[in-house]
Each structure stands twice: as C-alpha cells, then as structure tokens.
Chains A and B, each alone.
Chain A
Amino acid sequence: MSILVNLVGLALIALIVWWFWLYRPQAAEAALGAVAITVDDGVYSPSRVRVKLNEPVTLRFLRKDPSPCAAMVIFDDLDISEELPVDRPKEISLKVDKPGTYAFTCQMKMYRGELVVES
C-alpha cells in the first residue's frame, strides 16, 4: 500500500513535469497574415502561433477575461506591450526578422503564448 501511494505521488510529479513543461501544443498558422487570439480563462487560444520570417502578420487579440491579469499583452523580446480592451479586438501588427520563439505573456506571466518565427 505505502509503495503504491508513493508511486502514485511520483507518477503525479512526472505527469506535472510532462504536461506543463515538456509537452508542446500544435501551433496555429497565420492564415492570410492574421491570427485571432482569444484571451479568456487564463489562456491565449491559440497559444502557439507560427508565422513566417519577415512576413507581416497581424495578431488580433480579443480579451474576454475582465480580470486585470489579462489587461496587457507583452512580447518581451520584441519590446511590444499593449493594453487589451475588454470585448474589443486589438490588433498588433508586427514583422519579425529573426527566426526563433518569442513568448508573449500577460504582466504576471500567467497567460502564456508563443510566437514561433520560421523561415
């Protein structure tokens, strides 16, 4: 019994590690240069956006979560920070000229998304 409980605990830890850190969700492609991202319930959906290198893309954020946590979207490495109005889309147009993965988050890093720039 005690071994079983310990094993379950360890399995739980392994699950947490895999689920939250190792797993990478599918990225949404930017069709026609625009992606709509909904900001609600603690997640950006889609939370992974794939865009082409040097191609202009518009991210259209629609914030539905009124809590102040969701109020801002920040692309730290791109030096973008924008306030998101509730229930009204906000467009952020950008063009990235260096391939890589750029995180976008809320101020507190609880909302997390990734912009994958590929050549």
Chain B
Amino acid sequence: MKHRSHCHEPGHAANTDHGGTQKSIHLALTGASCGGCAGKIEKALQSVDGVESARFNLAERKAVVSGQVDAGALIQAVEAAGYGATEMTDEEPADSKLMQEASCHEAQTSSDPSPEASQESAVHLAVTGASCGGCVSKIEKALQGVDGVESARFNLAEREAVVNGEVDAGALIQAVEAAGYGASEMTDEEPSGSSMTQEAPCHEAKASSDPSLKASQESQESQESQESQESQESQESQESAVHLAVTGASCASCVSKIEKALKGVNGVDSARFNLADREAVVQGKVDAGALIQAVEAAGYGASEITDEEQASEDREKADEAYYRKLLREMTVALALGVPLMAYGVLGGEMNVVTTGERLVWLVVGLLTLAVMMFAGRHFYVGAWKSCKAHSANMDTLIALGTGTAWVYSMVVVVAPGIVPELARHVYFEATAMIIGLIDLGLALEVRARGRTSQAIKRLLGLRAKTARVIRDGKEQDIPIGAVQVDDIVRVRPGEKIAVDGVVTEGHTSIDESMLTGEPMPVEKDADDEVVGGTLNKSGSILYRATRVGKETALAQIIAMVKQAQNSRPPIGRLADTIASVFVPVVMIISVLAALGWYNFGPVPQVAYMLVTATTVLIIACPCALGLATPMSVMVGVGKAAEAGVLIRNGQALQQASKLNTMVLDKTGTITAGHPEVTEVITRNGFDESELLQLAASLEAGSEHPLAQAIVESAQERDLTLDSLEGFNAIAGHGVEGSVKGRALLFGNYKLMQDHNIDLGDLQAKAQELAAQARTPMYLAVDGQAGGIIAVADPIKEDSVAAIKRLQRLGLDVVMITGDNEATAKAVADKVGIKHYFAEVLPDDKQKKVAQLQDEGKLVGMTGDGINDAPALAQADVGFAIGTGTDVAIESADVTLMRGSLHGIADAIAISKATLRNIKQNLFGAFIYNILGIPFAAGVLYPFAGILLNPVIAGAAMAFSSVTVVTNANRLRLFKPREESK
C-alpha cells in the first residue's frame, strides 16, 4: 500500500475560457513536485473516459482538462495516481496568489508492513518538511532524545522515520514537531490517498535553495500590479518594447482591433499583434499596465511577457544609460575640479585675502555649487532621504564630506572675519574633484559588474527562439513559449534543440558541451533524450517534447545558478555585519578626529579639523566591504556552471573548498556502471563465439547486470541466441540449463567443484583475472570445462587522471563499493586510491561517511543523486554525478552535468579559487579601511608630518570598490583544469 502525504496548498485562480465551446475543468493539484509528476498526472487524467485533452502546469500546480467529463472522476483519477486535487471554480478570488509552502515537498512514504514494522516496539513515522541532509540528523537527534527510544533512523528518500524502543508515538511526534518538522504515525489502517497537511519548513539554509523549494518565494514581475499601484508608480514608463501575451484572439479581425486598442494608448509609437503566436509588441514610452487595460477594454485578455532574456537586456540597457550619465557628470565635475587643482598645485593662491580674490572665489564657489547640483545630485538627495529614514550609506559619507568642504570654503569667502587668518583657505577643488572621481569609480563599477553576470547571459543565450513543430501533419515554426508537451519537433543539422524531449525518429550527434562541458558530441537514436539548448550537429531528427518552459533542464539550471550566485557563503558574514554599522561609525570617527585636532592640533586648528574630518568621511568605503563576497561568488558559481558543475549555494561553495576527504562511490562514478565482457578464455576446442553464444542463450532471460553484459556482448558479435530448456538458478553459484541439447553450467568455482568439472589451468587464470578487477565465470558444456567469460565494469577513461587531480588538490580519496575485497583492491590499485571500503551494503554508505566525519574529517561524497542520496546528504558536501538532463531536480550540494570525475576536481578547484578570491577581496577591503581611516584622521602627522589630501582620499575610495569588482572578475580567467592535460 502506497501512501502519500501532501502539502496543503490554496487553490489558484481559475481562468475560465471565455466563449469556449468545449467544457473545460480546472483543477488545483497538490503533492506534485517534479517533472515526473507532470507526466503521471496527465496520463491519469487522460485515462478518464471522455477526456479529450489534459494538461498540467507544474509551475502553477494547475491542470486544465477539456472534454465531456465530470470533475469528480478527474479528482478520483488524480488521487489514485497519488496526488491531491480540488476543482477550481470562478468564485475563487481572482487575485489569490499561489503560495507554495516552503516545506511543500512530495512526501512519499511506504507503509508496507515490513518485517521491521512487525516488531512490537517499532514506531513508523511519516515526517514532512524534511528536505535536506541536515534535517536527517536533526530529526534523528530529536527522536533519540525521547525517553525510551533505543534507536531512531530517518530515511530521507522515503521521509520515514523508524523508531525502536518502549515509547509512545505521541511523544515522538511532539519531538519531531519541536524540531520544526511535521510527523504522523504510519499505521496499516491508514487509507491510501489520505492527505496530511502538516508542514514545517526546513530551516536548514542548505535546503531552501533546492529548486523545488524555490517555489516558496514565487516571485514574479507583476502584470496587474501597475494598475493597483497607486499614485506615483502609475506614471512609470519606459522607452523599450513591451511584449504582451494576448488571449481570446481567434480571428484575423481581432488583429486590427487589438492593434487599434494598443495604438490608442498615450505614448505608443507602434503596436503589432501577431495572431500566430498571440504576441503583441508595442514600442514607445509606455507602461505595460495601461496597455493591458486597453486590451482588456477591447474584450481580450493580456499579460506582459517578461522573458528573462528580455529582462537581462533591459538591465543592460539601464546599466548602459546609467553608465553614460555617470560619465557626463564626471566630465562636468572634473572640468571644474582639474583646472582648480592644477592651479593650486602650481602654486596658485588658494587663500582668500583681498576683496578681488573674494569675488573671484565667490564665482568659483557658485560654479562648484552648480557642479554639485548637476553631477553630485544623487549623493545629496540620497543622503538626505536615507538620513530622514534613519539610515546612512555611502551617499551620506560623500555628501557630508564634500558638503562640509564647500560650506567651509563659502564661509571663508563670504565672511572671512569669523575664520582665523591662517585658515582662510578654500577647498572648492576638493569638492569638485571628489564628486568627479567618485562618479568615475561608479561608472567603472557598473561596467565591471555587468561582466560578473556573463555566465547567466551565456546560459540565457543558449535558448532557441523558435521550434519547428509538426501539428496536424503540418510543420510550422512557432515561438518556443508555445511549444507544448508531446508536440513533435523537427530539428535539422546545425539547429538548436528547442525544448527537452525524447527522439522518436532519426539519428544524429548532438553537441552538449555548452551544458555539460563534455567536448565530444553525443550520438542520439530513437528513445534517447535530448536537452533544450544543445546543438544538433549532423542528422535531422524528430523528437517528442517532454519538458517545456520552466521545466526544461536549461531553465532549471539557469534558475539554480542565479539562486546560487545570489546566496552568500558564511565567510562574508563578518563583512556584512561591519558594513551594516559602518557609516555611522565612520561619522563618529570623523567627529572624534576633528575634536582631536581642535584640542591637540597646531594652529589653525579649524583648517586641520576640516581637512581631517572631510578626509575620513571620504576615504571610508563600505561598498568594498559589502561587495567583496557577493561579487566573487557570482563569478565563481558562474564559472563552475560553465564547466558543467552546478553549485547549489554559497555555503556549499565554501564547504567544498575546505574538504580534505573525498569519498567516491565505485559503480557509475569511478567506473562506467555498465559491466562489459572483457575476456573470453577458451579450452577444449571451443571458440570464443561459441562460448559466448551458449552463455548468452543461457542468460538471455536473466536481468542481472552481469548476465546482460554477456547477452549484449553476444549481440554485438551478431550471434543468434538459441532457445533454452530446464533453466535453473543456483543461488550464490550460478545457473544451469540446456541449449540445443547440450547441458550447460555457468557460474563460479564452487559450482564447477560441485559438479566435478576438471578446470585444469583455468582456475589460475580466473585468479589472475580477479586480481585485475574482473569477475570471472566458468562455463561447462556437457560436463567439460569450456572456458571462462570475464566481466568487468570498465573504469572510465579519465577517472585515473581526475583522481590524481583530486589528490593533488590535497584530498584523501576514498573508494566505497559493494564489491568483494579482491575486486575492490584491484580497482583501487588501478586508479591510485589508497583507502577503500569494500563489501559495503548500499544502506551503509551513509554510515561510512559518518564514520569518516567522526574522525574529524570534512568529507565530500560523490555518487549518483538517487541511490546515494542519504550518503550525499550525510556528507559535508554531496556531489551528484548527473547525466545531463535530470541535474537540477536532484538535491545535492554540487551537481555534475556529465559523468566524468574531472567535474569534481573542477568543482573543488573553482571553490578553492573563489574562496581565495573572496579572502583577497575581504583582506583588501578591511586593510584599506583599517589603514585608510586613521591615515585620513592624521595619525601620521605627529610622526611624519603627513596629512592626506581629501582629493587623494576621494580617488582611493572611488577605486577601492572598482578594485574589488575587478579582482572578482579575474576569476573568470581561472582555468580549473590546467594541470589535467
């Protein structure tokens, strides 16, 4: 009996089909969390009588079914498939937004009365809300803390906890709930399909950036918001093209109606509506809200298409405009500042003595004011506004510094009498220069920052724009957004694969390097998966779309990389804390410096007070501190993505750089995971083909991987298999049967011994093979030894090199395998691994990882994301070796998009480089401020007579954050694999 627990979710607003002749039913679904669910749900719905079409949108958790059918039957079908469903009606508030719970995870639990469960004292709990490795130990700890518990184990994959001991379920549930999760007892009587609604968020930071959890903060650029946004925002407009998805338009006459409606909106330059893809493109200075209103007034529906690529283009445009504005402002400020400063440096009189001088300086002062208004406006406005809001930022420092210098200088000019004669010096040049330099610094920073997001831009650029879909027997090019699941798509040589799918016809080779980093093109035949964004090289194929839109691997990779780029590793915390109190602290230091000079400084004190206070304010740079970590993470995570390595978040990045032990699962990680026949040794006159043919005929029915390897090998040699009689499997020994009247025995040494087969020198051969990591099997024909067939899981070509790289990166590489000691040793020796765990049952891998952790090691674990999930979760950093398509669904800390172990080494190398980069940035930013501020305050003056010029301070400050961003960008040039080739 299978039983699922679901998260409860409020329904989503139903979109009713206006004027649709077909009855369509909208269902809100619960419990679906992955791409696989979508297919299952659609299949379940389509199997209901009367259903003509059924479509499920995973992002909205909404299914739309059309046909002559009743909602009850549909709900039943969905529930039978293991999900929850409710009908969505018109009454539901139209604005009810979908709010997925942070804990919304498909919790699948098996309540099979397993042998363990029948023990009188074992309690089984279905736990909800646990989604990450950290949860496992938390839950187990919580359970173990309950009185009477002897042992408690939690299986993350099944979301099931098994507790042994004299204990009552209620107390256990309380304990789990206290730990922040939900729990309920699993009993055999529990009706299938009953849904549990407990939810508890996983507070583990690691988990919350899991893509399936990302739904918890479903954020979207809103379409309707502009209407509801009162006052000031409604005036907002922008000069770029607005793309609208229009619904309800079905005929050619709609086109002109819609275009007319759009052109009627103020500010629209041009409006085009394309009926085929139902997209309107509007140019002009106009806001989307008004356009949507106009279209709705005309009787259609509309929503803004906010394509990610579009958004990224918009951002670039905005950045570019801002960059140019800053450069203009800088030019103006320096046009005044540079001549003034040159005048001062060349010995010009900056002191105000005569009335004539006063007049000239008054004009200069007013010019400076104009520069401040034009080029420095944003500093002053920002400073004032944030000050009003009781917050202080970089603007505050700049405005205070430059403002103080200007006010002082004006006082000297206007009322020299109140300033001591020696201090009648003007600092207009400082104000103008500082504003100009900081504008320049900001401009350079905007440019440098644009480069940090290049990885995302590259990924976005991989997407195809259109797809050639075959509908109703006709081929048509449609926008990629209109491609639906199960559409048949044609791809010709040189074209991009548009969406994820499965090849139905044709043969080709596909370049997947852009996603996986694997340079060799991959051959694809019918039933092979293709991934959106990859490049079709040679042949023309047809494929069936299986995942579209946000569900595609590429879209998920982009979402994941973005999320990871914006998360911060713990190393940045201190800098963050300091940055958040930085500005007021600097202001206080500035006042203290001024007081120090007033009390202890030489004459004229007031001039020294001014210079030091101003310089302290100007030189302090909170931005460099704040930028140090995020910039490097952004570049590092992007760099990893380019190498086909997805790093989940900043924490994983930091942890990965510190690992000192790497556990590698043998099968599928070091080896290919597909056993192959490696040797056929014949005796007594048999030839290889004959031996293989007999063995394959005998094993044809078996599903054992070793048996399959033999059958495959026979097929490769075009051997025809014969029918088999009297098949008998002898557990632990092998198999027997007869083919074409010949009695066959196939198995290990023991089997041969039991049947008194004379092996001659074969036994020695077999031992030799075992020592080479092969699994030898004897075949006897009619009581006579025929030979040995040896099977081995071949070691991946590059495993040895990759393991060497890992060792060179300072990691102790440990192999873990279920194989026997001899084979394990042979494999380990071959790949150069010193430590290994042999004969480990699959369930015990996690324990082995824990054991290493108990020895005080920081352990990384590499395995496949599904079977090894508990061990990956247990490890400090879990590395899932992926196959390129399902990557983003897995929940490991680091996911490799290709099978090569080099990815692990790349990930470690990149994380080390990134952390090094962050440390450089943090060190630079700290040292800069720690040395710069006291220097600016004049601590060197008593000893060396040096006082920092405020203009120099301005330049230093302007370039400190540029330096940080530039240093982060340096990471882009990092090559993780210099040493491997």
Task: State the A residues within 8 Å of B (CB).
Answer: 2, 5-6, 9-10, 12-13, 16-17, 19-21, 23-25, 34, 36, 38, 40-45, 47, 56, 58, 60, 62, 64-69, 71-72, 74, 76, 78-83, 85-95, 97, 105, 107-112
Contact = CB atoms under 8 A, between A and B. Distances in A.
The interface centre, meaning the residue of A10, A23, A90, A111 with most chain B CB atoms within 10 A of its CB, is A90
Contacts of B580: 105, 109, 112
A85 B314 contact: yes
Interface string B569-611: 0000000100111011001100110110011000000000000
Contact of A41 (B99, B226, B386): B386
Given A56-B99, A94-B216, A85 B221 contact: yes
A16 B587 contact: yes
A88 B289 CA distance: 10
Given A67-B322, A85-B311, A112-B391, 6 more contacts: A20-B390, A41-B384, A85-B318, A88-B314, A89-B222, A90-B219
Interface string B611-633: 00000000000110111001000
15 contacts: A9-B592, A21-B581, A38-B233, A43-B382, A43-B391, A47-B389, A66-B318, A80-B219, A81-B563, A85-B318, A90-B221, A108-B627, A109-B622, A110-B394, A110-B622
Contacts of B388: 43
B97 A93 contact: yes
A109 B563 contact: no
Contacts of A108: 579, 622-623, 625-627
B383 interface: yes
Contacts of A6: 595, 598-599
Interface in B364-393: 378, 381-393
A36 B229 contact: yes
A38 to B, nearest CB: 8
Given A41-B382, A86-B318, A110-B626, A62 B233 contact: yes
B496 to A, nearest CB: 26
B319 interface: yes
Contacts of A12: 591
Contacts of B906: none
Contact of A95 (B99, B288, B584): B99
Given A60-B222, A68-B446, A93 B99 contact: yes
Contacts of A112: 391, 580
Contacts of B392: 20
A23 to B, nearest CB: 5
B222 A91 contact: yes
Contact of A79 (B209, B233, B325, B396): B209
From DSSP, what is the main secondary structure of chain B's interface residues?
helix
A15 to B, nearest CB: 10
B236 A91 contact: no
A69 B82 CA distance: 47
B395 interface: yes
A78 B449 CA distance: 25
A36 B388 CA distance: 19
A101 to B, nearest CB: 13
A89 B205 CA distance: 27
B385 A62 contact: no
B382 A42 contact: yes
Contacts of B446: 67-68
Given A13-B588, A97-B201, A47 B627 contact: no
Contacts, number: 193
A21 B584 CA distance: 8
A62 B567 contact: no
B238 interface: yes
A89 B217 contact: no
Given A88-B238, A93-B217, A41 B222 contact: no
A104 to B, nearest CB: 12
Contacts of A92: 217, 219
A119 B225 CA distance: 27
Contacts of A109: 576, 579-580, 622, 626
A88 B238 CA distance: 9
B306 to A, nearest CB: 8
A73 B311 CA distance: 16
Interface string B435-461: 000000010011001000000000000
Contacts of B756: none
B916 to A, nearest CB: 21
Nearest to B564: A81
A60 B385 contact: no
Nearest to B318: A86
Interface string B540-567: 0000000000000000000000110011
A80 B218 CA distance: 10
Contacts of B598: 2, 5-6, 9
Given A6-B598, A41-B382, A107 B630 contact: yes
B315 interface: yes
Interface string B217-260: 11111100110111011001110000000000000000000000
A86 B233 CA distance: 12
B233 A68 contact: no
Contacts of B382: 41-43, 65
Nearest to B236: A87
Contact of A68 (B208, B217, B225, B449): B449
A87 B221 CA distance: 11
Contact of B389 (A45, A68, A81): A45
Contacts of B217: 78, 80, 82, 92-94
A60 B567 contact: no
Given A56-B97, A80-B217, A107-B627, A9 B390 contact: no
B218 A93 contact: yes
Contacts of A71: 315
Contacts of B393: 42, 69, 110-111
B568 interface: yes
A79 B595 contact: no
A6 B599 CA distance: 8
Given A72-B566, A93-B99, A109-B579, A41 B385 contact: yes
